[in-house]
Amino acid sequence: MTALERIEGAAAILAAAHASGEGIENLPSDLVTSIADAYAVQERVAELLETEVAGWKVGFDAQGKTVYAPVLERLTRKGGPELPVARDAPSVIEVEIAFILDEDVTAGQAVADATEVVSTIALGMEVIQSRFRDRTAQPFLSTLTDNLSNGAYFLSISTPWASSPDLDSLHLTVMRDGDMIWGQTVAHPQGDIALPMRAMLAEPPSHCGGLKRGQFITTGTLCGAIEVPVPSAIAAMTVIGPLAAKLTPR
């Protein structure tokens, strides 16, 4: 099997799962064998679904290497009352900070100072919903291939980054159907909310068209991973602004 055949095979499986909303058990182990393969499949899935890239998830693998995945436009809402998500898949929400790009970033050309290309931020909410029935049973490469389990993303109104308070010591309140489910100082995995974004800008990707003006970069949860049912009305509040969205079945 050629590399192109492997990429096409994995992408076809995942694109079908996106379209149907039905989970799959796993990917055949011989289809995706490297991070480069995973990125190629990410790009091909977006092409098969005929969707643009609205933003990017960025984090670190077990060896500390920066890894990223596109957040697809078809799964993203920028404001508005509702965020459609898969009805039957387990739903986990993560409230996050989204850094919004002011301009395109050339692939492979490091940005030394993030403020050169980012001036605004927004409170965002990611819904973790994998195309795999049991995402916790998947090897890391499969999770990366599946866009790091992004199921949907909701972006609130943006605000200037420079005038924001210290992001790493924000108090965050999260409500579900009127009941508080988180109410304390943010707890980002790296401690520094902007660290993954800066790491991405130090080695900008080229796949999926690369980093483009108007896209956002989201760097990880501020409140852990909170499982919620669908439908649920979610509200999040910080001093940088509110977020309110209803998770609805699509």
Q: What is the mean pLDDT of each run of 10 residues along the chain (250 residues)?
A: 96 96 94 98 98 98 96 95 86 97 97 97 97 96 98 96 95 98 96 97 97 98 96 95 94
**Per-residue pLDDT, 40:** 98
**C-alpha span between 233 and 175 (Å, rounded):** 8
**Per-residue pLDDT, 173:** 98
**C-alpha span between 206 and 129 (Å, rounded):** 25
**Per-residue pLDDT, 206:** 97
Q: Rounded to a whole number, what is the distance in angstroms from the first to the last CA of the chain?
A: 36
Which residues, at least 6 apart from 108, have a Cβ–Cβ distance to it below 8 Å?
Answer: 203, 204, 206
**pTM tops 0.85:** yes
**Per-residue pLDDT, 75:** 97
Cα Rg of the chain (Å, integer): 17
Beta bridge partners of 226: 93
* CA-closest candidate to residue 235, choices 227, 243, 247: 243
Place of tokens 């080695």: 203
**C-alpha span between 230 and 91 (Å, rounded):** 7
DSSP class of residue 16 equals H
